[in-house]
Amino acid sequence: MFTTFREVIGYIEKETIQAVDLKFCDLFGTWHHITLPTKAFNQQILEEGVGFDASSTPGFKSIEAGDMVLLPDLTTGFRDPFWDLPTLSFLCHIAEADTRRRFHRDPRFIAQQSEAYLEKTGIADESCWGPEFEYYIFDRVDFRNDPYYTYLKIESEEAIWSNYLNSSPHFGYQIADHHGYHAIPPQDVLYNIRAATVKAMEECGIAVRYHHHEVGASGQVEIEVQTGSLTRMADVVMLTKYIAKMVARRFGKTATFMPKPLYREAGSGMHFHQHLFKNGKPLFYDRKGYGGLSKTALAYIAGLLKHAPALTALTNPSTNSYRRLVPGYEAPVNLFFSLANRSSAVRIPKYATRPAEKRIELRTPDATCNPYLAMAGMLLAGLDGIQRKLDISKEGFGPYDVNLFAKENGKIRQSITAVPDALDKALENLRHQHSFLTTNGIFPEDLIETYVQEKYTKEYLENRNRPTPFEFQLYYGV
């Protein structure tokens, strides 16, 4: 939005901005912020930054060396639509407090380094990305996790089971399970929320393609955005999740990007469309290739699928991720590619026929990922495939133009590698097979070590060690 401090000051004066909000991302994909009155925002802050305690930020620093600074990235400025006081927001670089050197664990820095590395390889000078946002909007969510009292209760006006809840209005327009795809009002009660979300996104500088109701009958929706560069679209992921949650709250509802909030209902992924360009020329297009793909594209896909067992720890980094990655819900559990096949891990969109549109779609990721790390990891995996000239057919990744979930295709399914079926397995793959991330110094070794350790101890083990209500149903009377 801005390129100079003078432009920022001019905007602040013109719009009577009263606060400047500085947002930054921790190692695991959560935003944090510090807010300044506009009188405290000056040129010195751009050079010296605003101090914060990085030891209290997940995955960053130890308590004895916690001081770091935030340096606002002026190009990311936007008017925050949710503050009562007129507020201008910036995303920030994270830097060492004394030297002002960029912090090697800053996820946004890693994303920017991956883009610089792309140019350095000479393979391409631009990568273009388009995430899809699937999420649920519920009326109310209650949960409790005491050792002696555990429960979960979700309310959704759209769901067929809302007929049994006195707190929800009963108009008879509930959506049958798994029949929410492109539902229309009055069944679709969320269209105004989506429209308001898109309006807020556009006001914040995000170009939107469309929005619609998704398969999940209990409030699942989708918003798809226009493509852009890697770091920019990782910024868009963070901003879109923020906007979606805040707009839902304005409407008295709650939004979640959990991959699998409801048992036996469709899960929410975050598919990533991606392709490469050099000097403006699309590198993934070849009219004679399978699905219109070039050899470069096929090698890129082979790299993605080759490294998928480790990459999944970045793209699907929650225990809940693996409740979505199960057969039967269009979940991409099998590592192969195909044209227009929604059971494949990598799909080639059939409608993208023009050279500049020719791209691939990785369908495994979900929105619990840190988008900066996940997208950098995807790019590095694909580039590794190109550099090693991987032959996708010899690697056993297809193409397979069949529905692998169909019974008659069981033998084919058994011959194809599947994604890890639990977080601990994905983390173990990342621990031992991450050279494609670290060889060129983009992902620091200590980041991988911290990431794996924190995810394993604070998420996987904490989840594994807790009895669930379903276990009581199964075993209490044994």
Q: Which of 271, 324, 347, 434 is catalytic?
A: 271
Phi-psi region of 219 (alpha: psi -120 to 50; beta: other; left: phi over 0): left
- Give the C-alpha separation, 331 to 266, whole Å: 9
Specify which residues 237 forms β-bridges with.
none
Specify whether the CB–CB gap between 202 and 145 falls below 8 A.
Answer: no
* Cα–Cα distance measured from residue 15 to residue 299, given in angstroms and rounded to the nearest whole number: 50
**In whole angstroms, what is the distance from residue 265 CA to residue 343 CA?**
17
Q: Is 214 a catalytic residue?
A: yes
Nearest to 94 by CA among 39, 22, 29: 22
Catalytic residue among 132, 155, 157, 188, which?
Answer: 132
Question: Read out DSSP for 420-434?
Answer: -SSHHHHHHHHHHS-
Cβ–Cβ under 8 Å, residues 426 and 313: yes
Show the CA angle centred on residue 137, arms to residues 133 and 142, nearest 5°: 130
Q: Which amino acid does the sequence have at 8?
A: V
SS (H, E, C) 138-186: ECEEEEEEECCEEEEEEECCCEHHHHHCCCCCCCCCCECCCCCCCCCCC
**CA-wise closest residue to 41 among 82, 94, 77:** 77
**432 part of the active site:** no
Active site residue 134: yes
- Long-range pairs of 241-246 with CB within 8 A, sequence gap ≥ 24: 241/133, 241/367, 242/31, 243/81, 243/197, 243/200, 243/201, 243/204, 244/133, 244/135, 244/197, 246/81, 246/82, 246/200
Instruction: Provide CB contacts within 8 A for 77, sequence distance 6+.
Output: 1, 2, 8, 11, 88, 89, 90
The active-site residue out of 53, 202, 203, 401 is 53
Q: What share of the chain is helix, strand, coil (3-state, %, to 5)?
A: 35, 25, 40
Residue type at 291 in one-letter notation: G
Clarify whether 271 is annotated catalytic.
Answer: yes
From the candidates 361, 366, 424, 459, which is the catalytic residue? 361
Active-site entry in 108, 273, 363, 434: 363
d(CA 310, CA 288): 32
Reply yes or no on whether 363 is catalytic: yes
Residues in the chain, total: 478
Residue 288: which H helix or E strand, with range? none
Residue whose C-alpha is closest to residue 253's, from 154, 178, 134: 154
The structure tokens listed for 78 are: 């936007």
Q: Which of 80, 155, 188, 222 is catalytic?
A: 222
Catalytic residue among 79, 102, 342, 431: 342
Active-site position among 134, 188, 366, 459:
134
Catalytically active residues, by annotation: 53, 132, 134, 214, 222, 271, 342, 361, 363
